[in-house]
Structure 1
């Protein structure tokens, strides 16, 4: 393989193994030797995520202004909404919540009555205790905490992820824990009727 690097002797890493500030990558698509590789996959998160979500703030902000909010009010709504998403990112709640939904679907054998599912009043089949299914709530909390132990992000590395050389298994570990807790709790509480 030929190289297009005009200065192959200059390393992009300093004496501590960190990337040199202001260094311009000159290799293009050529293979970078292992001793010159300084990045890790987790450092690419911002590069991948930023282009996908940056336009959303503009669209939401413009929509809020069209709804007769002032600019400071619209900025406040956007800021509050973005701060709330930090919680979702930290505990990776989407994985455990999805696991609870799928486990519930499996345990019920896909037997749902759409009208009953959407009823929001006392006495309906899915009302449980004040509108909260304790097994589902506990499963999501346990799944979220499990995810936090396995997560590996730029601002938080869970203790299990750190112990296993920065492996990020937040979503699958949270889903498995949530599914197991939900299955066990629904069996113990008998909250899902068996046929």
Structure 2
């Protein structure tokens, strides 16, 4: 039953994507039931799940989630998660540098701006970037930071205290916690 396995994979990918995006459980169940019905109809007509959702299952799930989630909620989520992600990067830098006040230079700002801009653009478009794409984005950010060093220099603009970094994390904590719980629930359901 290769078609049944592919159907189960499509449903699992969509569920994971929708839960990651913070769609409530009732809506996820409703969307999965509707998608499952479409996939069953396609199977009875001799078509594969790929004929229904296309080759890019995460892209399909992301587009359906965007259609189901109002723009204001998506913008609110991104507005909370952007400072959270930035704060995580800054916190790692605090830990690596072992400092309570992080010097902020133009190249560091350029690096973080690239990470945030590309991350937001791709996250809103596709859903999940994956490790290799994030690695590529990081390398691009390093290149832009080097270019900024060459153009502007690397003098300290200001010092960012640790408490300010932790404060940046606050708006995104509920979303991050919800994402972790949703991933654990998906993992538990898969077992």
Give the shorter-chain TM-score range: under 0.3
- TM score, norm. by length of structure 1: 0.25
Q: TM-score scaled by structure 2?
A: 0.26
Larger Rg: 1
Q: RCO (CA 8 Å, sep 6+): is it higher in 1 or 2?
A: 2
Where is the helix percentage greater, Structure 1 or Structure 2? 2
